[in-house]
Each structure stands twice: as structure tokens, then as C-alpha cells.
Amino acid sequence: MPENNKIFALDIGTRSVVGIILEKSEDQYHVIDFLSKEHIERSMLDGQIHDVEAVSKVITNIKEELEKKYGELHKVCVAAAGRSLKTQVAKATVEIQGKPILKKQDILHLELSAIQNAQAIVAENYSDKEHFYYCVGYSVLYYRLDGEEIGNLIDQQGNEASVEIIATFLPKVVVESLIAALTRSGLEMEALTLEPIAAINVLIPPSMRRLNVALVDIGAGTSDIALTNMGTIVAYGMVPVAGDEITEAISDQLLLDFPLAEKAKRELYDHDVITITDILGFETEMSKEEIVQQISPSLNHLASSISNEILRLNNNQSPKAVMLVGGGSLTPELPEKVAKYLQLPANRVAIRGIDAISSLTIEEHIHKGPELVTPIGIAIAAHKTPVHYVSVYVNEQPVRLFEIKKLTVGDCLLAAGIKMNKLYGKPGMAKIISLNTQAVTIPGKLGDAPTILKNGNPSSLDDEVINGDQIFIEKGKDGDQTELQIKDLIDHLPSLKITLNNKMVEIPSVIICNEMKTTGEKMIEDRDNIVVNSPKTIEEVLLSLGFQFSHLLRPFQLTINEVLYEFPISGCTLYLNGEKAKMEGNVKTNDEIMIVEQEVTIERFAEMRDIKLVYTIPVFFNDEKIILSKKAVEVTREGQILTESDLLFNGDKINIIDKENSPFIFQDLFSHIEIKMPSNAKGPYVLLKNDNHTTFYETIAPGDHLKIVWPVASEV
């Protein structure tokens, strides 16, 4: 048999090691020989080699026995046990408020962060924390935006984005111990695969993987589980119960030693009645139904454990179908019980043997059971799609990965232990200000994305890598504080357009920052207190116009006899849209304001001050009432005597001199009347007060009747 057509594969299990030799001819595989040997001592635990020397002895025995028939064997295909895989669900969350819309690289970065979280959980949960775990695959369970599930995060915007993944990890030590055992046996690892992948590759071709199918490889100590969906393998799992638990239950119930209990278990698959000899030497015939009833608790435990793990890996949903392989799959009534727990029809859970493998023939002397599926799958899968070591350099440090899938730059960063959530620069410090009493947060500028180079050229996280690639990564630069002007913070600075004294005026908003007037060009600083107001009253309008009208707003002031006085009048009268208004009157766009300056006369001033400018008395002259008056005070400004109608101006300096309050006399009448002597008067006039003769200097009192009488000539 030509060397290049011969495939030697080993399935190194918990209880036994299986060697198999296949011959490849074009697209056909032919199983030539099959050899199984159990471990002499407990040198394997949960798929990991704990005693390299003991395992290598079993491998050497199989190798030497097969070499007697087929010549020297130098290379071998092997699989890392599926039970060594660690599956973990994890989540990663990122704040996206105020950030650009999410792109593919952002989402990939988020997924890798979730994988790293899962990696940390796996390392924490298992006692062998010194083990390094490689991610051999992951699937996204959910994307969420602001807590709500969403199909795709690309181009989405919100406050918070998150992803939940299920990732599978392989301990580095598993492969290293496997290589060590092979080396001690004089074998070189030709190719490596994973047991679940091996079984799936031969039983579930890629065309079937769009279906949600569970494959369960039930061995002696563990049951390995793999799930397919949407065209790929989406999850791996393991439960630490398998065929040995059923064997032990039979041993306990029927008083059989372990090898006989194992023999009885296998016979139950093909026979309804078996004969057993217990440890006391009694031979008994027992029906399958009777034995199954006695070991029912163990059967239920195995079926429920497998079913619960399938549901956990499959998002608490039953798959479309379940395939059972491995020697433990022959456990009586196991398919029916798994179907019941998963609420599937009985014909959706089935044991699959090598007869289900296409393009395969087998020598007639080899038993064609389900226990051969995994060894044959290892040989074919390792030959078709082998897993290679790939060495790359991350920031000049060597990193070795298993090429279980297409390797990317992101995989290399994970393997190098680089924290994905630390790669992006931190956002700059935020500024918190007060704008019109409302707290406003101005977020800092976003940090830069990391610089990633592959072989000196810009690269992305999902770029494929090959052996020897040089990867350089540098953390993105942290963001700075955001620099903004006040006008950048306000969409529109409103202005007030009014008509003032028949002239159009546009008054901009008033900006006060930290109690100081400023402009929209001022740069905003942390903790600024900014108030932006448009004038709302006549007073605010006039104040905003500066000093042009300020003299109209001052109170009326006079210096009287060298003492300064203020009077409760303004120097103007205000009109708003034609109506008298006060300074507190509200103003809106298109209003008309008129300012009319006030005239303050001596007479008005005297009324305000309650100053009596004149004394008066009423009298009658020739029976006609007349008001006589004379000055009570004399008002002068810069030495000039002012009359009642003279105007006073804001800021004037005046003197007020009280006049002596002397009684009125008859003579005072002449300053108020015009005396006309009759043309026919004859002789001197006579002064009468109340019809009695009087003189010019005679005092008069209010109500007196005064007369001047001239004698007249008689008519001839």
C-alpha cells in the first residue's frame, strides 16, 4: 500500500485508545483495520492526558501491532477531545451616545471584547488557571440597542450597544500533552482536528449545516455535544456523564463486576433477554424491560443531562434533530428518553453508525457500530481539513495559534492577551456648564481608533493572517476636551426688532457669562454659568442701547438753595404702540416705542413741592369779582427771576426766597385792573370800601366791595 494513500488515525479517549487505518483512493475512503485498547490505569481525565507516559504506552502498543501488518507508521492524525472544549456565554457593552454611527469594525471590536470577557470567565471558573485558552469559535447570540434586541448594529445610533456571544475555548495544554504522548511513541502529528468537528464532518456535510442539528458523541466518561445552524457549527459542549454511569448502574443493580456489566449493557441493545452471572455465581435470565426499569434513574440522569446542555447551547430551544454516536449511544432507550426531554418526535433522535458516512467502505471483519464514527471522522477530517500551528508576531512578541478556522488579526490580538476594550482612546474630559439655569454636558472629543499594521500596512481586525505575519498595534490617542464658542451651543441667537422714535432698531440677545456681559464668540470653559436673554421690557430695551437714552432714565434732580433734591418724575413720557406705558412694560417684535421728553415748569415744580408761589384774595370791584395776588416766593436761576411758566431742566440750580406775607391794601387793586376816568368826570375821584370812604393804603379783606367814583357834570 503506497505511503501517501495510507491514513493512520488515533482516537485517544478517556477509557480507551482506538487506532484506525484508512486507504484513500480518489474521493473514496476504505477502512482497512481497526484496533482498540483500554488504558491500564486512569491516565486520562475529561479528555486531557494526565499521565503522558501511561497513554504513550497504549499508543505504542496499537502502533506496533498495526505495524506488523502494514509496515512502519511514522505520522498520525489525532483529535483534541471535544470534552476539553470550554463553552462560555459572555456579554460586552459600549456607550455610543454622541458617537458616530456604528461601522463593521466597531461591531467586530465589540464582539472580540465579549470573547475576551468569556475567556476571563473560563479562566476564573476552572481550577487550572495557568492554562491558556484559545478561542476556536464563537457565535453571536444577540445584539441589543438600548436594551432592546436588534438584528444588526451597523449604522445604528442610541445610548448603549451590547452583544452577547457564546464562545468555545481549547486549553493549550491539551494539545501540548497530546504531542508529548505521540513523540514518546515515535509518532509525528500529521494533522490535528477537534473530535466534534471530526464527527460532524463525516455525518453532517456543509449542505446540511443550515439545519439546527445536535450531534452527541457519548463515550465512556463524557458526552460531547456539537450544534450546527445557519451553515456552520455554532456551539460545543460537554457533560461529565456517559456510558460508564449506565454500566455502574447495571453493576450495582445486578451485582456484576464492571466488565460483565459493560458486556450486559451492550447485549441489551440487540437482545430482549440476556443471561447474567452475578458476583455470587448465580446465573439469571433477565428481560431488557426489567433491567431498564431498575436502572431508570441513571438513564433519566444521562438523558436529562444531555438534553439540558443541548438546550443551553441552543438558546433554550430544541434543535430540529439529534444524532447519537459513540459506544455510549447504544445505551437502551436513550434515544427515546432524549426525544422526550427535548419534546421532539421519537424519529427525530437517532443513533448513527458508519453506514451514514458517504464515500466510505469497510472491511467485512470490522464491526460497523456508532463507536467507529469518531475515529473514522478524525482520519477523514484531519486529512481533509487539518488544524495547523500558525506563528505570528504581535508587537514583536511571538504568538502561536491553532488554525482551527480562518485566523484573523483579531484572533492574534486575543491570543497575545491584548485587552480589546483598552485599544480605543478614552474620550476627552466633559465640560459641565449652566445655560439659562439648565445643566448642559459637553462631551469630550472621541478617542482615536487603534493603529493596526500587518507587515507594515494598515490593517483591520478581520483581515486574515498567515504564518510569519508581523502585526503591530498601538492604542488610539485619547480625545481632547471639546472647544466650543457660546454661539456653537445655541442654534439661533434671537434678536428683537422694534421701532423706536420712528426708527427701526434691531436689538441682539444679551449674553451674560459668569455675571459679565460677553459675546457669542467667547470660548466655553468648564463650569461656566451662561445666561442668554432677549430684552423683555422697555427698560431692558433702552439699557441694551447703551447711554443714548440713559439721561431719560435718571430721576429729575434740582439743586435748591445749594441742596440736591430728587423728584419722583422721569425726564420723559413713554408710549408703547400709542399708549402710555411704564418702564416695566413688556416688548415684543414689531412693537413701537415713543419717548417724549417732559416739560417741567416753575408752576409744576411748585405743585410737586407744595410751594405757594402767590397769595390771593377775592374782592369785588364795581360789583365784579377779581382775584388779587402777590408773590409768596421769588425763584431765581443764575440770578435771573423765573416766572411760573418758565421751564426747569434736569440738574438746574435754583434759589427760592420767601417774600414777606403783608396784607393786601386798596392800592394792590391797580395791578389787576385798568382804571378809566369817565369823559364827563368833574372833580376828584372818591375811593369806597364797602360803600365807605377809604384810602389807597387801607387794608382790604376777602369779599370786600371796592369802588372808585368820579363826580360827573349835570346835563343842561
Structure confidence at residue 2 (pLDDT): 42
**DSSP calls for 542-575:** HHHTTTTTGGGTSEEEEEETTEEEEEEEESEEEE
- Give the phi and the psi of residue 620 in degrees, each rounded to 5: -120, 130
CATH number for the domain including 151? 3.30.1490.110
Q: Does residue 457 fall inside a structural domain?
A: yes
- If pLDDT is split at 50, 70 and 90, which confidence band does 130 have? very low
Give me the pLDDT at residue 337, please.
Answer: 92
28 assigned to some structural domain? no
* Residues in contact with 438: Cβ distance below 8 Å, sequence separation at least 6, in sequence order: none
For residue 234, being part of any structural domain is answered with no
Tell whether 470 is covered by a domain: yes
Residue 135 domain-assigned (yes or no): yes
Whether residue 136 contacts residue 187, with contact meaning beta carbons closer than 8 Å, is answered with: no
Max avg pLDDT among 153-167, 531-545, 558-572: 153-167
Q: Is residue 491 part of a domain?
A: no
Least trusted range by pLDDT, from 54-58, 361-365, 693-697, 706-710: 361-365
- Which set of grid coordinates corresponds to residue 647? 421751564
Neighbours of 162 (CB within 10 A): 19
For residues 82 and 188, the model is more confident at: 188
Residue 288 lies in a domain: no
Helix (H, G, I), strand (E, B) or coil at 8: strand
d(CA 705, CA 456): 127
On the question of pLDDT at 83 being above 70, the answer is no
Q: Which residues span the domain enclosing 417? A: 88-170+389-474
Quote the pLDDT of residue 301.
Answer: 92
Whole-number Å distance between alpha carbons of 412 and 392: 8
pTM: 0.51
Read off the pLDDT of each residue in 486-494 and give the average, rounded to a whole number: 74
Overall domain count for the chain: 1
Beta strand extents in 585-645 (DSSP E only): 592-597, 600-601, 614-621, 624-631, 633-637, 640-642
CA neighbor of 689 nearest in space, from 678, 699, 680, 681? 699
Q: What mean pLDDT value characterizes the chain?
A: 81
Whose CA is closest to 433, among 425, 445, 441? 441
Give me the count of residues in the chain. Answer: 716
H/E stretch holding 605 reads: helix 602-609
pLDDT-derived band at 349, boundaries 50, 70, 90: very high
